[in-house]
Amino acid sequence: GQPLGVLDGIPIAVKDNFNTAGIETTCASNMLKGYISPYNATVVQKLLDQGAVLLGKTNLDEFAMGSGSTDGVFGPVRNPWSYSRQYKEKSLPKSPSEDEESNWVITGGSSGGSAAAVSSFTCFAALGSDTGGSTRNPAAHCGVVGLKPTYGLISRHGLIPLVNSMDVPGILTRCVDDAAVVLGSLAGHDPKDSTTIQDKFKPFELPNLTDVSKLSIGIPKEYHAPGLSSEVLALWSKAADLFKDAGAKVIEVSLPHTHYSIVCYHVLCTAEVASNMARFDGLEYGHRSDMNKSTESMYAATRREGFNDVVRGRILSGNYFLLKQNYENYFIKAQKVRRLIANDFVKVFESGVDILLTPTTLSDAVPYVEFIKEDNRTRSAQDDILTQAANMAGLPAINVPTALSERGLPVGLQFIGRSFQEKQLLTVAKWFEKRVKFPAIQLEEVERHDHGVLQHQKSASFS
Amino acid sequence: AGYQITQQRVPIAVNGSLSYSLCIDNKMSQMVTKTVRIKQIQLEQDSGKSLHDDTRSQTLVDLNRAGVGLMEVVMEPDMCCGEEAAAAVRELQLILQTLGSSQAVMAEGQLRVDANVSVHHPGDPYGVRTEVKNINSIRFLAKAVDYEIQRQIEELENGGTILNETRAFDSKLGCTVPMRDKEGKQDYRFMPEPNLPPLILYDAKSLPANMNHQQVVNVDWIHERLPDLPSVKRARLVERYGILPEHSFTLLNEDGLTEFFENVVKQTQMKPKKVIGWILQDMLSYLKQHSLTVKESPVSSSRLADLLNLLEKKEISSSAAKQVLAELWKGEGKTPLEIVKEKKLELIQDQKELERICQAVIDGQGNEVLAIKAGNHKVLNKLIGLVQRETKGRSNPVLVKQLLEKKLSE
């Protein structure tokens, strides 16, 4: 017979905040535990139409709120690299009683399950979502490619929303070419999502870029953020040099409003969350509390029982910012600041810069026991800082795994491109990927079954 | 609790007006045109409903209409009484029905009307207003408004004050009562809906070139494709058929009546100006008596046309025609001609026979004849009436009058 499409037979995984017909869709929340969705999200449908095989729904932070994939109802996601030879070799057990069980590291979030699935060879591609970095962050920590497309390029219909004006479906794969293939299957106007652009999308194959002399790479100085580890800083610098030595123009640029983006994001995100979460009232679907003294008490109990603290905290904050007396000072102000942040990028791209190069995360993945010492809000504020502005501006951005850290864990770097210029973005990312030769994860279980397929990837890495 | 999308900041249209007509008196003989300004029209989504079941202490949530598109038309306080409000809303209803925007049946909740009422002395600023809800028909709208006006006047004249409150109209008692105020002043915490891109309305001038016309709203394009609005239809009826403006109102007000009228006109030689009387007086009153719609009429337009043709050809008198219509109304399937034959309602065509009867009447009414000869011509009508009675309504009154006059002048 004929193949259904370019993805026919390819195993994929989908983050559990995408609706999948006949399959439980929980958003890792008690609110939707047991909820069987009656329809497929547009992106899921597109993958299935191509013949992709859905292996499963992946774990996440509850309702995609978080940067560690630790706050979901099903528990935290473990980074497969915790079990890699590379990590185990580098980590010294602190005491004989301590074993790798307490040493495992987080995947980052909120699409941690999807990143782990791709990273551990359980599937070839996975869907994540990206609102403040939720695809790129775990991609960096798990050593996989994480693409955030331009807002409006891929349909959000069926993606249970977090922030309608910033959410995009994210693509996680093991190499940039794969990301381009998946993008080709997903992009394009959807009448069911009014925020998708009308223009026809033409899927593309990535050229093998050899000459980068016409390329201008921008290094935004504000991305040298407080808390940036010296390791990551060094890798960033080396990457810049790589481009320079190959003949590209590498210049320092400024995005002056960068440091406002986190607070701006908090106001806008929580405001939208307050609105988006209103649909969960226990009436039509999802969890309904047994409390039935009155409608109001049923709503209250349902929402208290269904949502975790993170979600409830954001709803409360959002409602506060949207009060009449606060609307002007918080919401409107944040929208104005958002415009300034977006304009920063416009100015830089107008000045001739093609692509921006930044770190994706402040450091490599931390152990879970370390991560949970701070609360979700604090962690999100810290971890989103390098990825968040691209969501504000709606720009495409991609994490490319670059090298292993001192601790044997992946570190990735981020490229940010112009609106709807995914082809250029991915072309440059592919050029970079080829040169850094990021090593394959060495998992005992996988190696036992490997018949030399992965051998060639053990060559010298970019550190 | 919940979620709703509404056009809060930038309504889709502002500064409009609605023209409507009112009868000065009850006889539908003089109509005036009035205008009410429309402050704005905004689009929104309908919300769900809560039904409170106090007996079982439970609340039922009805989401059937949630998400349905709504259009809110906000009028300025330019109307002064229930009649004006009713007429304005009636016209709006007709327009919406003509456009196909809504069937606008109030009893079904397709058109919901809240009345804001205040009173003031001439020259003073407007008084405090109350909002009246729960109005389920145009008739009730007029009642509710008039009641509220009276209530407020009485309250103020007794030294009281008017509260800025919401009241419900109780159709059984014909009065307004304060509504159970559950919500208080709600802070809705609205924010702009990010899933809906801005709605930009273009016209032919402002439309950018190269825009796919299916992707934009071009007001001029829509304007060109509007069906004839009621005011245009009415003017056309008046011009085409020579009927009075108030006739055209009644025709349009009754669903299907215009079509019925036009069908009759097509099938009969009788002039439209005469046909209209049969439609508006005879047909319409029968329909109202039996609570039937035009579509349900047992008398079809062709039947009525047949009847009117008999009348036009002077084969029957108009009183005979009315009798036939009453018979037709029974819906037994007989044609007008059959009924006329059955009941022997044909006009006497035999001139000699008529003359004989006229002469008999004259001979029998000596005093009246003298009065007529003395100059009192009104008495002639009595003689005509007597001839009619003799002939059991089968004489043509015009012809009878001629014959009597001729005889009396001999």
Question: Residue B33: helix, strand or coil by DSSP?
Answer: strand
Pick A278's closest partner by Cβ from B2, B61, B212.
Answer: B2
pLDDT of residue A457 exceeding 70, the answer is no
Residue A97 near residue A321 (C-beta atoms within 8 A): no
Residue A42 near residue A24 (C-beta atoms within 8 A): no
State whether B139 and B275 are in the same domain: no
The whole-number pLDDT of residue B2 equals: 72
pLDDT of residue A359 exceeding 80, the answer is yes
Q: How far is the alpha carbon of A391 from chain B, nearest alpha carbon, in Å? A: 14
State whether B280 and B260 are in the same domain: yes
Structure tokens of B333? 């399937």
Pairwise pLDDT comparison (A144 vs B322), residue with the higher score: A144
DSSP, res A8: T
Q: How far is the alpha carbon of B14 from chain A, nearest alpha carbon, in Å? A: 24
Range of the domain at B213: 199-226
**Any residues with CB less than 8 A from the CB of A385 and at least 6 apart, and which?**
A225, A227, A261, A262, A362
A192 is catalytic: no
Pick B197's closest partner by Cβ from A195, A279, A322.
Answer: A195
Structure tokens of B162? 């008017």
Distance CA B161, CA B155 (A): 7
pLDDT of residue A454 exceeding 70, the answer is no
Is B108 inside a domain boundary?
Answer: yes
Choice among A15, A46, A148, A430 that is catalytic: A15
Report yes or no: A198 at the B interface, CB cutoff 8 Å: yes
Pairing type for strands A249-253 and B13-23 reads: unpaired
Distance CA B395, CA B400 (A): 7
Question: Residue B363: helix, strand or coil by DSSP?
Answer: helix
Are B194 and A294 within 8 A, CB to CB?
no
Q: Give, for all 410 residues of chain B, the pLDDT tens digit.
A: 677 888 878 899 999 999 999 877 666 567 889 999 999 999 999 988 888 888 877 788 899 988 899 999 999 999 999 999 999 999 999 999 999 999 999 998 899 999 999 999 999 999 999 999 999 999 999 999 999 999 999 999 999 999 999 999 999 999 999 986 655 567 889 899 999 988 889 998 998 887 777 778 899 989 999 999 999 999 999 999 999 988 999 999 888 999 999 999 999 999 999 999 999 999 999 999 998 999 999 999 999 999 999 888 888 888 888 888 988 888 888 888 888 888 888 887 788 888 888 888 888 888 878 887 788 878 888 888 888 888 877 777 788 888 888 887 77
Instruction: Give contacts of A 291-330 with B, CB under 8 A.
Output: 292, 294-296, 299, 319, 322-324, 327
**Angle formed by the axes of helices A333-350 and A261-276, nearest 10°:** 130
The whole-number pLDDT of residue A71 equals: 92
CB neighbour burial string for B181-214, b if at least 16 within 10 angstroms, e if fewer? eeeeeeeebebebbeeeeeeebeeeebeeeeeee
End-to-end Cα separation, chain B, in angstroms: 94
DSSP, res A63: G
Q: Where are the domains of chain A?
A: 11-92+104-436
Q: pLDDT over 90 for what percent of chain A? A: 85
Distance CA B366, CA B361 (A): 9
Distance CA A195, CA A327 (A): 24
Distance CA B224, CA A285 (A): 45
Report yes or no: B195 at the A interface, CB cutoff 8 Å: yes
Kindly report the pTM of this predicted structure: 0.83
Q: Tokens 């039935």 appear where? A: A292
Is B184 inside a domain boundary?
Answer: no
State whether B31 and B149 are in the same domain: yes
Read off the CATH number of the domain in which B373 is found.
1.10.10.410
Distance CA B217, CA B199 (A): 8
Distance CA A116, CA A137 (A): 12
End-to-end Cα separation, chain A, in angstroms: 47
**Any residues with CB less than 8 A from the CB of B291 and at least 6 apart, and which?**
none
Q: Kindly state the average pLDDT of the residues A41-48.
A: 98
Which residue is closest to A278 within chain B, CA to CA?
A: B2
Residue A84 near residue A116 (C-beta atoms within 8 A): no
Pick B59's closest partner by Cβ from A163, A284, A295.
Answer: A295
Distance CA A43, CA A36 (A): 18
User: Rg of chain A's alpha carbons, rounded to an integer?
Assistant: 21
Helix (H) or strand (E) holding A238: helix A230-245
Which residue is closest to A326 within chain B, CA to CA?
A: B189
The whole-number pLDDT of residue A360 equals: 97
Which residue is closest to B64 within chain A, CA to CA?
A: A284
State whether B236 and B205 are in the same domain: no
Q: How far is the alpha carbon of B71 from chain A, nearest alpha carbon, in Å? A: 21
Main-chain phi, psi angles of B60, to 5 degrees: -105, 140
Question: Residue B106: helix, strand or coil by DSSP?
Answer: helix
Chain A to chain B Cβ contacts (< 8 Å): 47
Are B3 and A275 within 8 A, CB to CB?
yes
The whole-number pLDDT of residue A436 equals: 96
Give the bridge partners for A410, in sequence order: A404
Q: Tokens 């001609």 appear where? A: B337
The whole-number pLDDT of residue B55 equals: 84
The residue from B343, B366, B394 where one domain ends is: B343
Residue A411 near residue A405 (C-beta atoms within 8 A): yes
State whether B206 and B252 are in the same domain: no
Q: What are the DSSP E strand ranges found in B138-231?
A: 166-170, 175-178, 201-202, 217-218
Residue A392 near residue A133 (C-beta atoms within 8 A): no
Which residue is closest to A274 within chain B, CA to CA?
A: B189
Least confident of A170-184, A334-348, B149-163, B202-216: B202-216
Report yes or no: B51 at the A interface, CB cutoff 8 Å: no
Helix (H) or strand (E) holding A401: strand A397-404
Helix, strand, coil proportions of chain B in percent (round to 5)?
A: 45, 15, 40
Are B189 and A319 within 8 A, CB to CB?
yes
Structure tokens of A277? 């979460």
State whether B164 and B287 are in the same domain: no
Q: Which CATH architecture has domain A11-92+104-436?
A: Alpha-Beta Complex (3.90)
A15 is catalytic: yes
Which residue is closest to A322 within chain B, CA to CA?
A: B189
Question: Residue A143: helix, strand or coil by DSSP?
Answer: coil
Pairwise pLDDT comparison (A419 vs A376), residue with the higher score: A419
Report how many domains make up chain B: 4
Chain B residues within 8 A of A394 when measuring between CB atoms: none
Distance CA A165, CA A392 (A): 8
pLDDT of residue A460 exceeding 50, the answer is no
Main-chain phi, psi angles of B70, to 5 degrees: -125, 150
**Any residues with CB less than 8 A from the CB of B257 and at least 6 apart, and which?**
B250, B251, B279, B284, B294
Pairing type for strands A410-416 and A397-404 reads: antiparallel
Is B55 inside a domain boundary?
Answer: no
**Any residues with CB less than 8 A from the CB of B387 and at least 6 apart, and which?**
B354, B357, B358, B361, B395, B400, B404
Are B59 and A294 within 8 A, CB to CB?
yes
Pick A271's closest partner by Cβ from B59, B61, B191.
Answer: B191
A134 is catalytic: yes
CB neighbour burial string for A434-460, b if at least 16 within 10 angstroms, e if fewer? eebbbbbbbbeebeeeeeeebeeeeee
The whole-number pLDDT of residue B184 equals: 58
Distance CA A5, CA B177 (A): 67
Q: Tokens 């990551």 appear where? A: A232
**Angle formed by the axes of helices B318-329 and B336-343, nearest 10°:** 110
State whether B222 and B290 are in the same domain: no
Sheet (strand B166-170) strand order: B113-117, B130-135, B166-170, B175-178
User: Rg of chain B's alpha carbons, rounded to an integer?
Assistant: 30
Q: Kindly state the average pLDDT of the residues A189-210.
A: 93
A66-109 pLDDT, tens digit each:
999 999 999 999 999 999 999 988 877 665 555 657 789 999 99
Which residue is closest to B59 within chain A, CA to CA?
A: A295
A266-278 pLDDT, tens digit each:
999 999 999 999 9
Choice among A84, A119, A134, A419 that is catalytic: A134
| C-alpha distance from residue A395 to each of A356, A390, A419, B288 (Å) | 11, 5, 5, 67
> Within 13 Å, how many C-alpha atoms sit on residue B320's CB side?
31
Whether the link from the prior residue into A110 is cis, omega within 30° of 0, is yes
> Within 13 Å, how many C-alpha atoms sit on residue A24's CB side?
13
State whether B25 and B171 are in the same domain: yes
Q: How far is the alpha carbon of B194 from chain A, nearest alpha carbon, in Å? A: 5
Report yes or no: A271 at the B interface, CB cutoff 8 Å: yes
Q: How far is the alpha carbon of A164 from chain B, nearest alpha carbon, in Å? A: 6
> Within 13 Å, how many C-alpha atoms sit on residue B160's CB side?
8
pLDDT of residue A451 exceeding 90, the answer is no
The whole-number pLDDT of residue B213 equals: 72
Chain A interface, best mutation among B189, B190, B214, by max A CB count within 10 A: B189
Q: How far is the alpha carbon of A153 from chain B, nearest alpha carbon, in Å? A: 14
Give the bridge partners for A356, in sequence order: A218, A416
Structure tokens of B236? 């056309």
Structure tokens of B120? 């003031």
Pick A323's closest partner by Cβ from B2, B63, B189.
Answer: B189
Report yes or no: B60 at the A interface, CB cutoff 8 Å: no
**Any residues with CB less than 8 A from the CB of B244 and at least 6 apart, and which?**
B238
Pairing type for strands A249-253 and A216-220 reads: parallel
Chain B residues within 8 A of A327 when measuring between CB atoms: 191
State whether B387 and B242 are in the same domain: no
